[in-house]
């Protein structure tokens, strides 16, 4: 008898370790880093391919809810629910939201918890591992997948394998009790683990029933259980998204499932596996799994590479030339360039902290800013003016809004624009333009069947994005 599987996809991370490609408001799981699909889409498809997989539950940050929804639609996956975190509280509370959701219908629902930003190359081995884990989960165990190590990796936590669970050996794999967890070790310790055997990497993927997860959470971290339960009970619906109560969720302690439950419970189990797994936690790890040429280089975009070996070189907008350098990461985007030795990937965190302390924004957003109606990007900026390129999707509409400090000129490049100014509606076609005076309520829509592209020229004393007073918005935004 095969159990229904409820995938729970955790998509709340910021992914700043892959800056400048990944940004806080456009994190790595939303990017096509390894294949034509984004990492989130690949994870959703991987889960959907499992036998008896049900519609997934997603938990993501509120800031990129529309991007997440669009990426689901692009691969024809309709989630059971998309839960929005007003603020990140780590994995234990996020999983609890999904557990409360499932338990209201079936306490014994099998949860398959997957981070949205991992790579798995062997789908068949993954399916076998899940099948084995489900057997153990039905016996009350909280099961994780342990990746069999092939190198003394110091960037992962380790799991020491204990006694085999006899009832969980009905498949080609076996589940074992967890003897202990270890934090990220030194190179000497990691080498000893590899030589001794009996250790796996901690993958961050889990299988258990909703009931058992909530029982163990209430037992070991009643503070997290109580605050998440309150937030979930007072949840609201918003354009198809589920919003836990903001105040209660913010009051919840921030804790990982490893610290909150797995390292303290007496019913932790592990299924050792080889999946072609990588958590893509750094540029170096992305280089390791990327296709390379005869010199060990990965290149993407408009690049010229000479006398260079074992490097990752990615050009997004311009020609990038790398000559006479080995073991480097070079990533170019429209507004930032990273040049770094592969051994220094852990120092990116310090760079992000520098940007934050100096009130820079390159770690937050790309030049192209995505919105539920489309996107905009800056082209030029000077004293009292800025120029933007705007794309509005078919049927998309900006909020009815006004500005206190700026006027706007719009020039239609392609498509049809429906412009409302003080209740007067006008259609504008290609090469036509209009002027929006300062302080006048206005709205831009695309009533056509093709994307609307236009150039916006803003002029005024203050041109910040916070100079928007919204009167009505189709996407439920207030600011």
In this prediction, residue 171 carries a pLDDT of 61
In this prediction, residue 420 carries a pLDDT of 96
In this prediction, residue 240 carries a pLDDT of 86
Each domain of the chain, given as residue ranges in start order, spans: 5-278, 283-353, 368-472
In this prediction, residue 167 carries a pLDDT of 67
In this prediction, residue 14 carries a pLDDT of 74
Q: Is 12 within 8 Å of 68 (Cβ atoms)?
A: no
User: Would you give the DSSP letter of residue 166?
Assistant: G
- For domain 5-278, which CATH number applies: 3.40.50.620, 3.90.1720.10, 3.90.550.10, 1.20.58.340? 3.90.550.10
In this prediction, residue 69 carries a pLDDT of 94
The backbone torsions φ and ψ at residue 286, rounded to the nearest 5 degrees and listed phi first, read -70, -40
CA 374 to the chain's CA centroid: 19
CA 345 to the chain's CA centroid: 20
In this prediction, residue 154 carries a pLDDT of 81
- Name residues whose C-beta falls within 8 Å of residue 120's C-beta, 6 or more positions apart in sequence: 46, 126, 275, 276, 277
The residue behind tokens 């789908």 is: 123
**Alpha carbons 408 and 410: distance in angstroms, whole number:** 7
Looking at domain 368-472, its CATH class is mainly beta
Mean pLDDT, contiguous 10-residue spans, the chain (479 residues): 89 86 92 93 97 96 91 96 93 97 96 96 94 94 94 87 75 84 86 88 95 97 97 93 96 95 95 92 92 97 98 97 98 96 91 93 90 93 94 95 95 97 95 95 96 97 89 79
């Amino acid at each position: 008898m095969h159990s229904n599987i409820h995938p729970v996809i955790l998509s709340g991370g910021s992914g700043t370790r892959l800056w400048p490609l990944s940004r806080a408001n456009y994190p790595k799981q939303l990017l096509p880093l390894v294949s034509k699909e984004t990492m989130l889409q690949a994870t959703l498809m991987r889960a959907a391919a499992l036998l008896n997989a049900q519609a997934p539950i997603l938990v993501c940050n509120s800031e990129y809810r529309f991007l997440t929804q669009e990426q689901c639609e692009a691969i024809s996956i309709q989630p059971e629910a998309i839960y929005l975190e007003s603020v990140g509280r780590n994995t234990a509370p996020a999983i609890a939201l999904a557990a409360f959701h499932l338990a209201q219908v079936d306490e014994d629902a099998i949860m398959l918890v997957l981070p949205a930003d991992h790579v798995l190359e062997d789908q068949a081995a993954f399916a076998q591992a899940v099948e084995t884990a489900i057997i153990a989960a039905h016996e009350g165990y909280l099961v994780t997948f342990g990746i069999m190590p092939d190198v003394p990796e110091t960037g992962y936590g380790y799991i020491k394998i204990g006694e085999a669970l006899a009832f969980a050996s009905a498949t080609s794999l076996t589940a074992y009790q967890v003897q202990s967890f270890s934090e990220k070790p030194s190179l000497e310790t990691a080498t000893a683990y590899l030589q001794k055997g009996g250790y796996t990497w901690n993958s961050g993927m889990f299988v258990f029933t909703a009931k058992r997860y909530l029982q163990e959470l209430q037992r070991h971290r009643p503070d997290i259980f109580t605050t998440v339960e309150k937030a979930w009970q007072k949840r609201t619906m918003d354009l198809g998204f589920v919003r836990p109560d903001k105040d209660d969720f913010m009051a919840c302690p921030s804790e990982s499932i490893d610290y909150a439950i797995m390292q303290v419970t007496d019913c932790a189990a592990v299924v050792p596996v080889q999946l072609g797994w990588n958590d893509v936690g750094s540029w170096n790890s992305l280089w390791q799994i990327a296709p390379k040429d005869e010199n060990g280089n990965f290149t993407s975009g408009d690049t010229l590479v000479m006398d260079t070996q074992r490097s990752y070189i990615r050009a997004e907008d311009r020609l990038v030339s790398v000559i006479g350098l080995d073991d480097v990461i070079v990533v170019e985007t429209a507004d930032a360039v990273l040049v770094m030795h592969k051994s220094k990937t852990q120092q990116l965190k310090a760079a992000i902290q520098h940007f934050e302390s100096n009130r820079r924004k390159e770690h937050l957003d790309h030049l192209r800013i995505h919105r539920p109606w489309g996107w905009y990007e800056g082209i030029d900026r000077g004293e009292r003016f800025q120029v933007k390129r705007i794309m509005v999707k078919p049927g998309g509409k900006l909020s009815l809004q006004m500005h206190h400090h700026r006027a706007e000129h719009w020039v239609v490049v392609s498509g049809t624009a429906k412009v409302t100014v003080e209740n007067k509606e006008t259609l504008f076609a290609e090469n036509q333009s209009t002027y929006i005076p300062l302080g006048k309520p206005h709205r831009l829509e695309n009533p056509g069947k093709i994307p609307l592209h236009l150039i916006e020229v803003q002029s005024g004393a203050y041109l910040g994005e916070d100079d928007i007073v919204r009167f009505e918005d189709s996407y439920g935004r207030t600011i």
